[in-house]
Amino acid sequence: MISETNTNISLAEVQQTVDTWIKSVGVRYFSPLTNMAVLTEEVGEVARIMARIHGDQSTKEGEVLDLADELADVLWVVAAIANQNGVNLADAFVNSFAKKSRRDATRHRDNPKLKS
């Protein structure tokens, strides 16, 4: 069970918690296209904060910059999309990590653009 004091949770627990919440509190999943639009909106919120913190934009009066909250919103929607499409995020991450490790074993190390 996820609680505010239990911060060491697995991706499987994230997916299960999102599923349980959506089916009980949220009534039902949004359509896949709506969830894609919501994900885009949440990524935009992350981009806004990054532009304020690391870019040239200044904050607006009263603007709250909570990167952790916005990243959690992105994770929530990613879990919902994964659930709707039968994707196990833990398996997908392990497979993606293995792919990147094989493909990029020397790519970044050998990239002159990354040498400073």
Q: Is residue 95 one of the residues assigned to a domain?
A: no
Which pLDDT score, from 0 to 100, does residue 23 have? 95
Residue 65 lies in a domain: yes
**Does residue 1 belong to any structural domain of this protein?**
no
**Number of domains observed in the structure of the chain:** 1
Give pLDDT, residue 98. Answer: 93
49 CB-contact burial (10 Å; exposed 0-12 / middle 13-18 / buried 19+):
buried
Is 82 contained in some domain?
yes
pLDDT averaged per 10 residues in sequence order, the chain, 116 residues: 77 96 95 97 97 94 95 98 97 94 86 86
Tokens representing 10 are 């697995």
Residue 67 inside a domain? The answer is yes
Q: In this structure, is residue 77 part of a structural domain?
A: yes
Q: Does 106 map to a domain?
A: no
Residue 106, pLDDT score: 84
pLDDT of residue 116: 74
**CATH number (domain holding residue 83):** 1.10.287.1080
Question: What is the DSSP secondary structure assignment for residue 31, as one 8-state letter?
Answer: P
Can you read off the two tokens belonging to residue 52? 């304020």
Please count the other Cβ atoms lying within 10 Å of the Cβ belonging to residue 11.
18
Q: Is 27 left (phi over 0), alpha (psi -120 to 50) or beta?
A: left
The domain of 42 spans 11-88
